[in-house]
Amino acid sequence: MNHGTGSHGTGQTGPTGQELEAKIMELLAARAASATICPSDVARALGGEHWRHLMEPVRQAARRLVDAGEVEVTQRGSVVDPESAKGPIRIRKAR
């Protein structure tokens, strides 16, 4: 179901995985090397007021970037496996 929110048209319901990954990297590039971002930062940047439905796609994009060695997912400052992480996570550049 397309609610017509956004400029993607063509029946697409939101940003692609590639767009989500690019936004994660863009937001991280704008911060200090040790800084983290919240998945909601990415979702809000791309989804505007309709950001909540993007939370799981953002987490999936972060998992792909972990697999590619680009980022790490943390909880309470410690690196965690994004496949098994439950609850709030943060994303940072891989070290």
Quick check: 6 pLDDT over 90? Answer: no
| Distance (Å, whole) CA 89 – CA 24 | 13
Q: What would the pLDDT profile of 66-90 be if each residue is shown by its tens digit?
A: 999 999 999 999 999 999 999 999 9
Residue 14's pLDDT is what?
Answer: 85
Quick check: 95 pLDDT over 50? Answer: yes
In terms of Cα–Cα distance, which of 16, 12, 28 is closest to 66? 28
Lateral strand order in the sheet of 78-79: 36-37, 90-93, 71-75, 78-79
- Taking the domains of the chain in order of start, what are their residue ranges? 17-93
What is the value of pTM for the model shown?
A: 0.84
Task: Please check whether the domain covering 17-93 is classified as CATH 1.10.10.10.
Answer: yes
The average confidence (pLDDT) of the chain is: 89
Mean pLDDT, rounded, for 21-46: 96
| Distance (Å, whole) CA 90 – CA 13 | 25
| Distance (Å, whole) CA 15 – CA 31 | 22
Contacts of 95 (CB under 8 A, 6+ apart): 72
Residue 12's pLDDT is what?
Answer: 53
Quick check: 39 pLDDT over 90? Answer: yes
Residue given tokens 């400052």 in the structure block: 77
